[in-house]
Chain A
């Protein structure tokens, strides 16, 4: 077509000039014909009024021919300018309707009679490409037609809202005549879906055609995706849904979570590629959703819970990579992460619970108990990092779970203290500083999970006291480091007493140095440690009378101390402390003078044992009852002392005992065991019932509990008063919440307990209830 595109403005004005000439020319042609007919050359005036109808008809005929030519791809001989002009003229003279309707008829005729048969014939062979070819031809033609009839578009159509512009009209007609035709339509759908199904079976298809077909459908929607959706997308999604539903079942049948995950990932990739390659982008998103629904969401519970390959199996066998894939797959799906978290949490809790209730099967070694928990935490940290991508939700859940089962066992705080005790006593010897610190840090991690931190504090104090007094601690640095860690975690208040204990030790050693310098006399080598009562865990122990020499030495020190620190009170703790005794055993020996040989040993014993043994200087034999009366040592301690001296290992039996029972009876008689032998000269008598240092006796445990309860009552009351003083007026629920919050770093108070404390304070007139609203409390200054 000549002059396909032209500047419209210029053209319009050109038309105006040319039109008259054209009509004149054509008219004159006609006239010329007519004139030739009549063979009369008559000059007539230019008729003022033209026969419009025929003029219009002729214009239309010309256009119609042109349109047909265009549709038949014979447009090269056409003059764009002329056609445009014709259309323009028609519209200008108000014959737009003729033009429009004519257009409709022409195009319809062409589609119906030329295009459709072609497509129908190709149904058996090459259908899609034929259809696409026709479609392309049609669109190209319509573009040209639109260009010619542009004036009509802009003026005639514009004025009538219900009419489509030319191009859209073309689309609609194609749709109605071709694509909506029953046979063609059905075949089209079947072909498209069939091709996709084939491709899913890994056969190659002509995806280019499919792409064009999709584009065509979208275009046919004329500004909306509705047509495309109804013709193709809905069916595609539905079929895909069915396909993947079945596929999912098939994958499941493989009965392996890792295989399933892998296969699903493959499907996802495939569909994504397909969508990118030839489907509409929005469809791409939808198909992924379908996959997620059919493959992942439908089966995620099953997969995670699979017996021999699900999450539990993976956790048990450290299949980190499989877990990672599973996590990534489920992470993208709503609710997917949750399924994994729940399963992991269940597993962790079960494992944790098993560990903490291990003592139901017998006495538990605290060190291994804590160590196993530390190892469990390390294992899950490893999972968190390698498989779950340090996901915050997982991290929080692991922490919650640890808090849960650690606090199931009421002895956890005690055990943790014992574990640290053990480490500080011997365990860290082989490690360098960094490693040692690491071990303590791991212990601190568990500490954070403890609910009853105040119980831990009590036990830690006790254990620390023993470590310091018996010099059991391996590394001073490690001890100090531990204190610092606790301080960072809980604040200075927590560690002030512990630090006090350290200070006391230092002060004591300085004191001893001064004392030694001063006191040169005295036949006992005395070493004293002065403990500040408030810092150390003390039990009130009644004083037992010491042997005179010991007593004298103690008095000497006491005088020395009191001259230095006037106004203080010193009392001896007989339940602590050691003594070295020189023991002479008289062994029957034929070769010695008098048949008796003296053998000296040095025995290291506790204060109580010292008192007991010194008694045997005055008597050869004593019954238990007598010993008890003489030494005034409390029953339990005396029994323990005697058991260590008389009933322990053979290499320790300094005393002999008559009496067969396991328990010491008041009538049992004790005497010095002259037959005692040992390779060593210096023997340390171990305090028997080592289980005591590892597992507290029940009475002692109850004692600690009681003290802790008392302390807690005071702490709750202090907290209540603090809150009331600050707020002056507060509701019941707020008070409970506030008090719980203040105490949460120590322990978790029960609301009932807090309530009782409030009532006690009310009784003592620190707090009163509001007159009108029973829920409100007032501070009483």
Chain B
């Protein structure tokens, strides 16, 4: 067998490949748990890499070394996921992506390792059940917080209202309370959402009861206004 660039996991595959741990990192991070499989690692990590380059460097994107919007579209088609589906957002969260509709190599690797997928089949399956990964409240909180930073542009401090609403709808797909909130926002306010308001709203939906019996004055003023509207409406 010819020598191949690999990570320390190569040690497990044959005594002739004895490398110091973590010393041969030719641009990859360790593949982690996937190394437990009986597939040779080099094809695993390179599969991932290949997969990345299937979608990266799309000529119409003009983003060298990254998957751009068009690449993402193609990816989503391949994994049979809707672009507006929450699973896309969850995927971005797993990748710890910085910019919407873009993925860098590192982000891609991080993501695919975290979700333990290495090819399209895995990805397809994963995307179908992506929602399961945010069932845990701690995970959900992390995911929710991530969304704000992901959604807003670097230049601004806050999130434009329509963007925020779009993301809320993606995340809380179908939740009536959230829909009511969105409706009110659209009628009342035109100003953007701050980080505090975003985070607090997540906590609000989680903690405050529908009849607002455990509501107090420590919430942001915008949520105060909303609650007052609800109370007076009812």
* B189 contacts chain A at the CB level, 8 A cutoff: no
Q: How far is the CA of A165 from the CA of B137 in the complex (A)?
A: 85
The answer to whether A775 and B216 touch (CB under 8 A), given A756-B221, A763-B157, is yes
The answer to whether A774 and B200 touch (CB under 8 A), given A763-B157, A763-B194, is yes
Cβ < 8 Å to A, chain B residues 8-58: none
Q: How far is the CA of A118 from the CA of B152 in the complex (A)?
A: 113
Q: List 27 interface pairs A-B (beta carbons < 8 Å), by A numbering.
A: A732-B217, A732-B218, A733-B217, A751-B217, A752-B221, A755-B217, A755-B220, A755-B221, A756-B221, A759-B194, A759-B196, A759-B220, A762-B195, A762-B196, A763-B157, A763-B158, A763-B195, A763-B196, A769-B196, A769-B199, A774-B200, A774-B203, A774-B207, A774-B218, A774-B219, A775-B216, A775-B218
Nearest opposing residue in chain B for A763, CB measure: B194
Q: How far is the CA of A751 from the CA of B200 in the complex (A)?
A: 19
Q: How far is the CA of A470 from the CA of B200 in the complex (A)?
A: 57
Which chain B residues border A752 with CB–CB below 8 Å? 221
Q: Which of B157, B217, B218, B219 has the most CB atoms of chain A within a 10 A radius of its CB?
A: B218
Cβ < 8 Å to B, chain A residues 737-781: 751-752, 755-756, 759, 762-763, 768-769, 774-775
Smallest beta-carbon distance B54→chain A, Å: 39
Q: Which of A756, A759, A775 has the most CB atoms of chain B within a 10 A radius of its CB?
A: A759
Scan B196-221; emit 1 where CB is below 8 A from any A CB, else 0.
10011001000100000000111111
Q: Is the CB of B196 within 8 A of A733?
A: no
Cβ < 8 Å to B, chain A residues 561-577: none
| B residues contacting the other copy or chain, number (CB 8 A) | 15
Q: Is the CB of A733 within 8 A of B218?
A: yes
Smallest beta-carbon distance B153→chain A, Å: 16
Which chain A residues border B207 with CB–CB below 8 Å? 774
Nearest opposing residue in chain A for B203, CB measure: A774
Q: How far is the CA of A733 from the CA of B203 in the complex (A)?
A: 19
The answer to whether A769 and B200 touch (CB under 8 A), given A762-B194, A763-B158, is yes
Q: How far is the CA of A774 from the CA of B214 in the complex (A)?
A: 13
Q: A755-B221, A762-B195 are in contact. List 14 more A-B contacts (CB 8 A).
A: A751-B217, A752-B221, A756-B221, A759-B194, A762-B194, A763-B157, A763-B158, A763-B194, A768-B196, A769-B200, A774-B203, A774-B218, A774-B219, A775-B216
Q: How far is the CA of A769 from the CA of B207 in the complex (A)?
A: 16
Q: How far is the CA of A756 from the CA of B222 in the complex (A)?
A: 10
Nearest opposing residue in chain B for A752, CB measure: B221
Q: How far is the CA of A759 from the CA of B199 in the complex (A)?
A: 13
Which chain A residues border B220 with CB–CB below 8 Å? 755, 759
Q: How far is the CA of A751 from the CA of B218 in the complex (A)?
A: 11
Scan B68-102; emit 1 where CB is below 8 A from any A CB, else 0.
00000000000000000000000000000000000
Which chain A residues border B221 with CB–CB below 8 Å? 752, 755-756, 759
Q: How far is the CA of A675 from the CA of B207 in the complex (A)?
A: 84
Scan A699-738; emit 1 where CB is below 8 A from any B CB, else 0.
0000000000000000000000000000000011100000
Scan B90-132; emit 1 where CB is below 8 A from any A CB, else 0.
0000000000000000000000000000000000000000000
Nearest opposing residue in chain A for B222, CB measure: A759
Q: How far is the CA of A759 from the CA of B197 in the complex (A)?
A: 9
Which chain A residues border B219 with CB–CB below 8 Å? 774
Nearest opposing residue in chain B for A764, CB measure: B157
Which chain B residues border A755 with CB–CB below 8 Å? 217, 220-221
Q: How far is the CA of A768 from the CA of B158 in the complex (A)?
A: 15
Q: How far is the CA of A731 from the CA of B194 in the complex (A)?
A: 21
Scan B123-162; emit 1 where CB is below 8 A from any A CB, else 0.
0000000000000000000000000000000000110000
Smallest beta-carbon distance B189→chain A, Å: 14
5 residue pairs, one from A and one from B, having the closest CB atoms: A732-B218, A775-B218, A762-B196, A774-B203, A763-B194
Which chain A residues border B195 with CB–CB below 8 Å? 762-763
Q: How far is the CA of A150 from the CA of B158 in the complex (A)?
A: 104
Scan B154-178; emit 1 where CB is below 8 A from any A CB, else 0.
0001100000000000000000000
Nearest opposing residue in chain B for A731, CB measure: B218
Q: How far is the CA of A752 from the CA of B199 in the complex (A)?
A: 20
Q: How far is the CA of A413 from the CA of B221 in the complex (A)?
A: 31
Which chain B residues border A732 with CB–CB below 8 Å? 217-218
Which chain B residues border A769 with CB–CB below 8 Å? 196, 199-200
